[in-house]
Amino acid sequence: MRHFTFRPPLTLSGRKYKGLRGWAGKPLHPPLTDVPITAYLFAAVFDILSVALHSSHHEVGRQLYVAASWTLLGGAGVSLLTALTGWADWHRSSEPGTQARRTINAHAITMILVTVLVLVDILVRFAGYSDRGWAPAGIVVITAVAAVLVSIGATLGGSLVYDYGFNVETAGDHPVWHKNEVDVLPGQK
C-alpha cells in the first residue's frame, strides 16, 4: 500500500491557466500570503525582544532591531505581488452583494491598512532610526499593531477558503476520498 503521492498536487498540466489568479486548483494568492504574514509577525517579535534585551545584551538588541527592519522590507516586497494576485481574485472571482465579497472587502481593507503601517514603519526605521541600538517605542507599537492586524486579515482570508470555499477547485474528481492506489491527475476521471 502506498502512503505518499506527490505528482497530482504538483501537476500543472491539465489545469486551466487563469493569469494572475494562477491555475485551476493552484491559485497564486494563498501561498504568497505566507511570506508577509510571517515576516510581519517575526518583525514584531524581533522588535519586542530588541527592547527587552537591549540593556543586558546591547549587541543582541541591535541585531534584533536590524533583523526586524530587513524582515519587514522582505515581507513588504512580497506583499506587492500578493496584493496584485488578491486583486485579481477579487476582480474575477467574486460577485458583488455576496457574503464572500463582503468578507473579501474586509480582508482587503485590513491588509491595505497593514501594508500602509508597514511602509510607514520601514520609512521611519530607515530614514530616522537606522543606527539605533534597539527598537524605539513608537516603532514597536506600529510593528505590533501591524502584526495583530495581519493576523486578523489572515483569519478573514482563511475563512474565505474554509468557510466559503472561495476559489477552491479540484481536479474534477474528488481523488482524496478514493481508496484505490491510482493517482487522479487534473482533467482525468
How many structural domains is the chain composed of? Answer: 1
- For residue 133, tell me if it sits in a domain: yes
- Check whether 175 has a pLDDT greater than 70: no
- Check whether 68 has a pLDDT greater than 60: yes
Q: What pLDDT does residue 23 have?
A: 80
Work out the average pLDDT over 33-62: 90
Give the whole-angstrom CA distance, residue 173 versus residue 189.
6
Q: Where are the alpha helices (DSSP H) in 3-136?
A: 7-10, 29-53, 58-93, 99-128
Q: Which amino acid is at 132?
A: R
Give the whole-angstrom CA distance, residue 32 versus residue 18.
16
- For residue 155, tell me if it sits in a domain: yes
- For residue 49, tell me if it sits in a domain: yes
Q: CB of 118 within 8 A of CB of 75?
A: yes
- For residue 5, tell me if it sits in a domain: no
- For residue 146, tell me if it sits in a domain: yes
- Check whether 1 has a pLDDT greater than 80: no
Q: What pLDDT does residue 132 have?
A: 75
- For residue 13, tell me if it sits in a domain: no
Query: Cβ atoms within 10 A of the Cβ of 129, count?
Result: 15
- For residue 65, tell me if it sits in a domain: yes
> The dihedral of CA 82, 48, 117, 63: what is its sign?
negative
- For residue 8, tell me if it sits in a domain: no
Work out the average pLDDT over 119-125: 94
Weakest mean pLDDT among 4-8, 100-104, 155-159, 167-171: 167-171
Per the structure, the complete domain to which residue 95 belongs is given by: 39-165
